[in-house]
Copies of this chain bind each other. A is one copy, B any other.
Amino acid sequence: MVSPFQFADFRVGQTFRSGAHTVTAEEIKAFAQAFDPQPFHLDEADGARSLFGGLAASGWHTAGIVMRLNVAGGLPVAGGIIANAIDELRWPHPLRPGDTLTAESEVLEVIPSASRPGTGRVRVACRAVNQHGAEVMRYVATLVVRG
């Protein structure tokens, strides 16, 4: 695990990679039951009949898994990962039972605060891929980073 980056440590082009998580059908259904109770996230047969072509995780579940991977060291920000904006959030491929997810973040921009020296915002592009390298989720996050 990389030691946490202060604002001054960030440079455009740096990349960070998370650990991995393999998702189960039970996790997919439990999240869906709690937050996105639609048939294609709850039942294999309903998933197969949907445009997902099989049981698929809620996109918000995928976002939660990626957040946990990033908090667990995938994106080592001193003071924590606090995004005040997420842009261009996409789910190009479904996340299915048995899929193993990893996330990679690349620094796009480092924006010093005008009022608080040594702090600022860091824009990162985050991509999550499955075990076949297919992109399951991507977004651009604007992180608020303290010194």
Contact = CB atoms under 8 A, between A and B. Distances in A.
A53 interface: no
- Interface range on chain A: under 10, 10 to 19, 20 to 34, or 35 or more? 20 to 34
Contact of A80 (B35, B40, B84, B87): B40
Count identical subunits in the complex: 2
B80 A89 contact: no
Interface in A28-47: 31, 34-40
Interface in A11-52: 31, 34-40, 50-51
Interface of A: 31, 34-40, 50-51, 58-60, 63-65, 67-68, 71, 80-91, 144
23 contacts: A31-B64, A35-B64, A35-B65, A35-B67, A36-B64, A36-B68, A36-B71, A37-B71, A38-B71, A40-B80, A51-B82, A59-B83, A59-B86, A60-B60, A60-B63, A60-B64, A60-B67, A64-B64, A84-B91, A85-B88, A85-B89, A87-B88, A89-B89
